[in-house]
Amino acid sequence: MTARRRFLSIAAGTPAVLALPRASWAQWAPTRAVTVVVPYPAGGPTDILARTIGAELAKSLGQPVVVENVPGGAGSIGTRRVAQAAADGHTLVFGTNQTHATNISLLPQGGGYDPVKDFAPVAGLADLQHLVVVGPDVAAKTAADLVALAKRDPGKLTAGSTGPGSASHLALELFKVRTGTDIAHVPYKGSAPLLTDLLGGHVNLSFATTPTVLAQIQSGKLRAIAVASPNRSPYLPDVPTLAEAGVRGVEADAWLAMFAPAGVPAPALARLREATLEAMKQPAVRETLTKSGMTPNARDGAAFAGFVREDVARWAEVVRVANVKAE
């Protein structure tokens, strides 16, 4: 089975919670356009997925779904706007692990909102797995090799990230805490300069999202030695997870989810949850996930709420122990 077919079979096999009766949707219906705030610039993978899901939601809800980009403040500006919006089911935010798990520990006043108290999760949507990748001059072939190298010469190995406090930085710090290693952090302003230096051998390794490095791995220019996720990558099924390689507790998926303001009426929230999970089954959404290098992980909002609380606590501990500071 090809990686693409394996991916599509995973997408098609999303949990049974997705098969929810349309009859229950009649309890609530929006009376005007629904706005989905994307707290990041237009054109990125988060924005593209939001627009694809929005188009499917419009079909289910019977009202237009308008995607509004409100970038800035590490996603906090747009997220805060939704936290303060009327809780009537007509305003949602396309959140991420940054907006709803790490900002509270990294930004002054947590960005001006509480990711748990100020929101009602609609649905978990998809994950972006982090791969442990090494450059061409690094001898490590496995996670055990990498740990051994790091312990042999503490502080000598360098690991690039997409910026202080970014998901790739926090994944690195979690790895260091779990393995007791000293690896020098080199922050970059985004993935493009990081990738350039990784390919050029100016930095030794990185915890990089699949779309950032997949082409270079497939061409042999970079080497993936493990996946920092509970599951193997559908794109690189032969690469073990860190847990399989003997390094436990370094699950560091980036994720995307839909949230409503806290206090949204129960019938509205139930309808939005059902419609969003139904949208995740549609071919257009699955195709967008494939093209973006994301892994579908549709989860009902009620269950996802517990995950968000756990993720907030987990990253707060990493930030505290590693003394991580965002720019």
Model confidence over 253-272: pLDDT tens digits? 999 999 999 999 999 999 99
Pairing of β 119-128 and β 254-261? antiparallel
**CATH number of the domain where residue 272 is located:** 3.40.190.150
Task: For residues 14 and 82, state if they share a domain.
Answer: yes
Q: What is the pLDDT of residue 317?
A: 94
Give the residues across from 67 on adjacent strands: 36
Asked, for residue 235, whether it belongs to a domain, the answer is no
The answer on 159 and 207 residing in a single domain is yes
The pLDDT tens digits of the residues spanning 222-232 come to 999 999 999 99
Is 237 inside any structural domain?
no
Helix, coil or strand: residue 95: strand
Are 7 and 121 in the same domain? yes
* Together in a domain, 26 and 122: yes
- Shared-domain flag, residues 122 and 140: no
Domain annotation covers residue 240: no
Q: What is the average pLDDT across 60-80?
A: 96
Q: Is residue 304 part of a domain?
A: yes
Of 204, 229, 252, the C-alpha closest to 101 is: 252
Q: Point out which residues pair with 36 in neighbouring strands.
A: 67, 92
| Residue type at position 307 | F
Portion of the chain with pLDDT greater than 90, in percent: 86
Claim to verify: residue 115 and residue 138 sit in the same structural domain: no
Q: What is the mean pLDDT of residues 271-280?
A: 98
Counting the structural domains of the chain, the total is 2
Report pLDDT for 326: 79
Domain encompassing residue 62:
3-127+255-322
Are 122 and 268 in contact by the 8 Å Cβ rule? The answer is no
Residue 134, domain CATH: 3.40.190.10
Same domain, 266 and 317: yes
The answer on 99 and 48 residing in a single domain is: yes
Lowest mean pLDDT among 20-29, 80-89, 186-195, 287-296: 20-29
Q: Residue 46: which H helix or E strand, with range? A: helix 45-61
Strands, sheet with 295-300, edge to edge from the N-terminal-most edge strand = 65-69, 34-38, 91-96, 254-261, 119-128, 295-300
